[in-house]
Amino acid sequence: MEQWVVNKEEDYKDIMPEVAEFIVSSKIVLLNGEMGSGKTTFVRHLNQFLGADQASSPTFSIVNQYQYDNGIINHFDLYRLERADELSEIGFEEYLESGNLCLIEWPALGKNYYPENTIIIEFSIIDKSTRKLVLNSNIFK
């Protein structure tokens, strides 16, 4: 288990080299935490670190794709989906099997799809500007 405390947005620049190493090796990363805990902000900073397109929340599109030097990042927000069968309709399993990096916000709905090497980052709100990130192996299995 790894963990980081981010006191201000600029702190992401300091932790991103270490965090990105875990993410790129796993390929499938679940971003779990309450609304406003920093999941999309985290993706924005990860994209910047990897040299990818600027991230935005895929709340209404369900998935956004970003190009980076080593391929594609698929950024999901499953918040608006209500049933697991809706994942089939968007080709969720194919995205996960693509070999591309998949970052998944609100991941609980897809728990039956995630492979063994999936990691999860739990986001916690400490105070108005401070967030705690805890990285674990897949806790949904």
CA distance 85 to 88: 5
User: For 16-68, how does the pLDDT look when each residue is reduced to its tens digit (9 = 90+)?
Assistant: 999 998 888 889 999 999 999 999 999 999 999 998 877 777 666 789 999 98
pLDDT above 90 for 103: yes
CA distance 58 to 132: 23
User: For 61-89, how does the pLDDT look when each residue is reduced to its tens digit (9 = 90+)?
Assistant: 789 999 988 889 999 999 989 999 999 99
pLDDT above 80 for 109: yes
Residue 59, pLDDT score: 63
Instruction: Provide the CATH topology of domain 2-137.
Output: Rossmann fold (3.40.50)
Distances (CA, A) of 5 to 42, 109, 141: 12, 27, 26
Determine the residue type at 57.
S
pLDDT above 50 for 118: yes
At 11, the pLDDT band (50, 70, 90 cuts) reads very high
Domain segments of the chain as ranges: 2-137
pLDDT above 60 for 140: no
